Structure 1
Amino acid sequence: MKGLGLFEPDKFYHLVNHAVGSENLFRCSDNYYYFLNRYAYHTQEVLKTYAYCLMPNHFHLLVRVCSWDELEKAPKFEGVVHKFVMQKISNWLNGYARAYNIKYERKGALFIDYTKRFEVDNEEYFTAAVNYIHQNPVNHGFVSHPYDWEHSSYHAFLSQKSTKLKRDEVVEWFRGTNEFQKFHQMNKGNLDDLIEGF
């Protein structure tokens, strides 16, 4: 899988992007929060979010493209789904990069040229992707358990606080919060058979 398929309505995708070279995308907590805020602002009309993890130099998202009916109601939608979704993602990442460059007095690209997108086309992949995304900081040696990483959606699934995540759908998928936690404890997030390493 090359991770460059077209976006289509009502389909799930695992999105991944990385900083250029040895750069970091986030240098402090405020960067992480601003990044998520901008993500919600730019993509809420086109994407529903099921899981995410922000790492210092890359990020993972599990999303579903909105239905055709929802997209038709979005301002400036001209009937080409892939182009519309890509424009929203581009606006989000370019806007963040501009703010980041101003804040840290740097120049040039911050993200690699394209956001990888892997269609999540079966139940096994969906389950594995949720877990893989939350296990990312464990697999990269930052923490020993997903709960210990502040910048992922893992905490939202154990909370009753308001969230833009499709929390109820994910918790129901795992048959409850306890089963969600158990699955993450028993499975270390291997997607080698489903996605190329990143």
Structure 2
Amino acid sequence: MVKEYQQPASLCKIPNHEKYHVSFTPGYLFRIFYYIFRMSLLYNFPFEANEIYHVYNKAVGKEKLFYGEDNYRFFLQKFSQYLSDSAHVYTYCLIPNHFHFLIRVAPTSSPNLISEKFRRFLISYSKSINKQQERSGSLFNKHLKRVKIDHMEQLIWIVYYIHRNPLHHGITKDFKTYKWSSFKALVSNKYTELKRQELYEWFDGKKHFLQFHEENQVLDLERFSHLFLE
């Protein structure tokens, strides 16, 4: 049985969801630039058990990771095959040339073990695409990038950023209907392996989770979305 998630003390809950709206105060900007600094220096540091990470990578050069729906399905199946017992997923989004996951490392997982599982997962998927496309060589950028989440404000904006990513890249006009992200599964009442209830708690419930995504659609995140990763 998966142990109940114990929220790290550093993730101090913000009970008022209205505080999640963008406010370019000195403190907010400091946290953004601190995030960039951490991203540039620490994305290759070892994973830590029971911590939350934004994990992402992209295809080399102008290559694609996904050429059709079967590729997206196969990628998610491979992720589950290699990592379901080591990484608990909150959100994800798959784009033709890159992917995002927001995960919690399992409490019993060692840094070397989960890194090795990610490596094997990406190699396995690369081999299948290389065979399908009759190509050779690396498919992904060399390093799997990861950033540990330090505070709640950062966390909820990364959830939103991941879900909004296909809109940001012009792939869809409504990210809420995009097929290859976690949003539809999270708002559905159907069973999901995503950590849905824990994620809702970050937003003070499903109602505020939906409200946050709805109200912030009009924000021009293109102005600062690159601060989060790309």
- Correspondence 1:1-198 to 2 at 5 A: 1=38, 2=40, 3-68=43-108, 71=109, 81-188=110-217, 190=221, 192=224, 195-198=227-230
- The percentage of aligned residue pairs carrying the same residue is 36
Between 168-177 and 110-119, the greater mean CA deviation after superposition:
168-177
Distance 1:194 1:63, change over 3 A: farther
Q: Distance in 2 between matches of 1:195 and 1:84?
A: 30
SS in 1 for 2:99: strand
The number of residue pairs the alignment matches comes to: 187
Q: Normalization by structure 2: what TM-score? A: 0.76
Greater Rg by CA: 2
Matched residue type, 1:36: L
SS in 1 for 2:67: coil
Q: Which has the higher helix share?
A: 2
SS in 2 for 1:187: helix
SS in 1 for 2:143: coil
Q: Normalization by structure 1: what TM-score? A: 0.88
Structure 1 residue 150: Cα displacement: 0.7
Q: 1:131-153 deviations in whole A, cap 9, x for unaligned?
A: 01001011111122221211000
Q: Counterpart in 2 of 1:78?
A: none
Q: Distance in 1 between matches of 2:198 and 2:171?
A: 28
Q: Report if the CA contact (8 A) 1:147-1:154 is conserved.
A: yes
Distance 1:24 1:160, change over 3 A: same
**What stretches of structure 1 of length at least 5 have no aligned partner?**
72-80
Q: Counterpart in 2 of 1:76?
A: none
Runs of 4+ with >3 A deviation: 188-197
Q: Report if the CA contact (8 A) 1:16-1:60 is conserved.
A: yes
Q: Report if the CA contact (8 A) 1:16-1:61 is conserved.
A: yes
**What stretches of structure 2 of length at least 5 have no aligned partner?**
1-37
Distance 1:119 1:195, change over 3 A: farther
